[in-house]
Amino acid sequence: MPPGPDRADYRTLVERMPAIVYVADAGPSGRWHYVNGQIEAVLGYRAEEWLADPGLWQARLHPDDRDRVLAIEVAAQEGTPGVAPAVSAAIAAAAAEYRMLHRDGHVVWVRDDSHLVPDDRGQLRWHGVLSDITARKRVEADAERRAAQQAAVARLGEHALEGADIGSLMNETGAEAARLLDAEISAVLELSADGQELVLRAGAGWDEQAFDTAGVPAQASHSGFALKLGRPVVVDHWDTEERFERPALWREMGTCSGVAVVIEGRDGPFGVLNVQTREPRDFSASDVDFVQSLANVLADALQRQSTEDEIRFQALHDPLTGLPNRVLFLDRIGHALARLDRRGSAMAVLFVDLDNFKLVNDSLGHQAGDELLCGVAPRLTHALRPSDTVARFGGDEFGVLLEDISGAREATQIAERIAAAFARPFLIGETDHFVTASTGIAVADGAGAQAEALIRDADAAMYRAKQRGPARYELFDEVMRATAVGRMRVENELRRAIEREELRVHYQPIVALGDGSVMGVEALLRWEHPERGLVGPAEFIPVAEDSGLIEEIGGWVLDVACRQAVKWQAERPDAAPLAMSVNLSARQASQRELPVIVARVLESTGLQPSSLQLEITETMLLEEVDAPAGTLSALHALGVRLVLDDFGTGYSSLGYLKRLPLDGLKIDRSFVAGLASEEGDRAIVTAVLGMAAALSLGVTAEGVETAEQLAELEALGCRQAQGFYFACAVPAQEIGAILRDGPPWRAHSA
């Protein structure tokens, strides 16, 4: 058996241990009897120095740990009466790790594994080992800090997704950056529109007065350098930094080290997130990654806000001119009305409509029309006060809101300024074009006014202005109000009439002038009012057009008329198929799905397409912004006949005859009325008949009321006519009797 180690071997082993081994008297001022040479490696003191000064251990305890460590040492020495052994053990374990100060002042974490051992005289002494655990504590602290940083990024990201206010999110981001990097200063800097400055928007360590006023240069600065490179830039110490000057802002704040990262947006950088410390700081790679992660959260939030703002702007503004749209205009009127009573002033809504805008579109093209609208928008804006609002409703219609005016007089003065704004020509393409506008004015000076009602009143006044000539303005008055109220009453009653099935379809014969036979009928709508009796279309069709009811009513008329035509044809199997004429409203003609609707009605009723004749008015084509040429071509492709009604009343009749797939036309009753007495009317009818013959178009004369008119038409070669001379519009059963018994007008013609 080999001999055991002697005392010298033990001493050598202890001296070489990578930890401080010590023996010291118990008590706060106990003398140290032994300490190995590792004391110098760990705390910077030679063993003889440490042993010579019994107070060194207590003096080098970290101030934040001293009281805790000494209290537990005393409790361990005295047995801590009344404290259970398990609790004492837990307390001792907690005290086993604490901080000490190195000779040069830096902090050293130690683990103290020691036991109280009595010597030969019964005196208690500590026998222990102090291990340097600074590296482990640093790793643990780094892990805790990274976990805290990750949690902060996740928390801020959650706040951003919840739609937190962007200003609050910026401040929270700055606070977290400073807190988790032990920094005194953080700054969210926004790049100015001209790219010359980075303006302080939020952060930690600032007086609030600095926000939105203080900043740093975007060129030749720490933050500007990060922007230029597009990556993080670290300043280890401003005193040794040579790449750029320290901005006055950091100099005034007394900063020493810093890191700047870019807040990158989808369309370019928003700015920079900068963190600064007043003491020298070595920013690690994980620190930089943390700051960049915070900047990325801000970037995502800013991009989301930008997208939401863009969507909100698009929802509330006209895409062509950038002006507020009707929705936003109504909202602003609502706010103005709410302020009206408090301010004791008046407000007004102006409805501005360009004169002959369709002429620009038809002659120069829609792109030219768009150019004109984009030119009108700034003209209107400059003609108004800064507090006024101008909006585009659609097409060539604009709305203007005037707040805080004295009354109608001031509103008309502003309308005159608007008219003056149109005195100069508009440059469209490379040519000057003069355009005028008609304006309607509605003034509100007390409670009870409503936004939609004001727009409606201004619209009614604008139509009155147009009726009286271009470039005029009209003030809404009580007469117009009565008319508007009447139209509203008619609309409400018309809606109930549809529900109660009060609408009727009557038919007027279309007569062949050669033999007086009925070759077709025109379906005409009537309203059998429960109180007023039979109401003609002139009283309710315009209301149906404006309210949108005409589409439903027109579809119903088409179906009823086609079914009636099939019934009459079935009753006269040996006769030529009776043609059914149905009028199309402007709204119907502009429906893209109209050909599908007509095809469906023809299929469901069994009427042959060649027996259906659809009538469109020249006036309707003039007023429609988008001429329904494509729709009419699709209808013609079905085999349906198309006829131009009221021919000669528009400004471009020849152009429509050339462009549209027409089968016939109707001479307006205004020309037929003067055939027997007016040479001009006779010349016009002669010209129309000649032109129609050259273009292979059928012609029907409308409004024939006398034998003299009939004779003139026959002499001129017109082959078809309709009017009160033959019959007014009558119910279906009366047409059935005429078809069965023969036309009664043959007798009085003979």
489-502 confidence digits (pLDDT tens): 888 888 888 888 88
Q: What pLDDT is stored for residue 647 in this prediction?
A: 80
730: pLDDT strictly greater than 90: yes
According to DSSP, the residues that pair with 203 across neighbouring strands are: 187
State both tokens at 491.
């609309």
Distances (CA, A) of 253 to 165, 225, 233, 277: 28, 20, 19, 9
Residue 425 carries which DSSP code? P
Hey, CA dihedral for 362, 366, 371, 377, is it positive or negative?
Answer: positive
The pLDDT, as a whole number, for residue 749 is 53
Burial class of residue 3 in the structure, from the number of CB atoms within 10 Å of its CB (0-12 exposed, 13-18 middle, 19+ buried): exposed
pLDDT at 263: 94
The confidence band for 8, taking pLDDT boundaries of 50, 70 and 90, is low
pTM more than 0.75: no
Domain 317-476 CATH class label: alpha beta
Q: Which CATH superfamily is domain 491-743 in?
A: EAL domain (3.20.20.450)
For residues 238 and 280, is the Cβ–Cβ distance under 8 A? no
Rounded CA separation 205/170 (Å): 14
Query: What's the CA gap between 355 and 468, in Å, rounded?
Result: 12
Specify the pairing of strand 612-617 against strand 641-647: parallel
- Closest among 201, 147, 203 to 176, alpha carbons compared: 203
Predicted pLDDT of residue 88:
44
512 CB-side CA count, 13 A: 9
Q: In the chain, where does the domain assigned CATH 3.20.20.450 lie?
A: 491-743
Q: pLDDT tens, 269-294?
A: 999 999 999 999 889 899 999 999 99
pLDDT band per the 50, 70, 90 thresholds, residue 87: very low
Contact call for residues 146 and 131 (beta carbons, < 8 A): no
Residue 72 banded pLDDT, cuts 50, 70, 90: confident
- Is 650 within 8 Å of 618 (Cβ atoms)? yes
- Tell me how far apart the alpha carbons of residues 291 and 174 are, in angstroms, rounded to a whole number: 10
Q: Tell me how far apart the terminal alpha carbons of the chain are, to the nearest angstrom.
A: 159
CB count within 10 Å of CB 655 equals: 13
Task: Please give the CATH superfamily to which domain 7-132 belongs.
Answer: PAS domain (3.30.450.20)
Residue 619: count other Cβ atoms within 10 Å of its Cβ: 14
Residue-level pLDDT at 625: 39
If 0-12 CB within 10 Å is exposed, 13-18 middle and 19+ buried, where does residue 662 land? buried
pLDDT at 568 over 90: yes
Tell me the per-residue pLDDT of 135-163, one tens digit each, with 9 for 90 and over. 898 888 888 888 888 888 898 888 888 88
Please provide the CATH number assigned to the domain covering 139-314: 3.30.450.40
What pLDDT, on a 0 to 100 scale, did the predictor assign at position 318?
Answer: 94
Is residue 620 scored above 70 in pLDDT?
A: no
For the segment 606-625, the average pLDDT, to the nearest whole number, is 79
For residue 579, pLDDT beyond 90 = yes
- Residue 654, pLDDT > 80, answer no
Residues 6 or more apart whose Cβ sits within 8 Å of residue 686: 716
Judged against a pLDDT cut of 50, whether residue 83 lies above it is answered with: no
Residue 580, pLDDT above cutoff 90: yes
Main-chain phi, psi angles of 558, to 5 degrees: -60, -45
The segment(s) of the chain belonging to CATH 3.30.70.270 are 317-476
Dihedral sign of CA atoms 670, 676, 677, 681 in order: positive
Least confident segment among 27-41, 87-101, 105-119, 691-705: 87-101
Whole-number pLDDT of residue 322:
93
Q: What is the 3-state secondary structure (H, E, C) of 690-749?
A: HHHHHCCCEEEECCCCCHHHHHHHHHHCCCEECCCCCCCCECHHHHHHHHHHCCCHHHHH
Nearest alpha carbon to residue 721 among 536, 561, 518: 518
pLDDT at 627: 47
Task: Say if strands 664-667 and 641-647 run parallel, antiparallel, or are unpaired.
Answer: parallel
**Mean pLDDT across the chain:** 87
Strand pairing of 185-191 and 124-132? unpaired
Question: Residues for the chain: how many in total?
Answer: 750
For range 61-68, the mean pLDDT = 90
Confidence at 109, pLDDT banded by 50, 70, 90 = very high
Report the C-alpha dihedral over residues 401, 404, 408, 414, rounded to 10 degrees.
-60
Reduce the DSSP state of residue 578 to 3 states and report it.
coil
543 falls in which pLDDT band (50, 70, 90)?
Answer: confident
What's the average model confidence in pLDDT over 677-689? Answer: 87
Query: Looking at per-residue confidence, does 144 or 238 come out higher?
Result: 238
Tell me how far apart the alpha carbons of residues 375 and 366 are, in angstroms, rounded to a whole number: 14
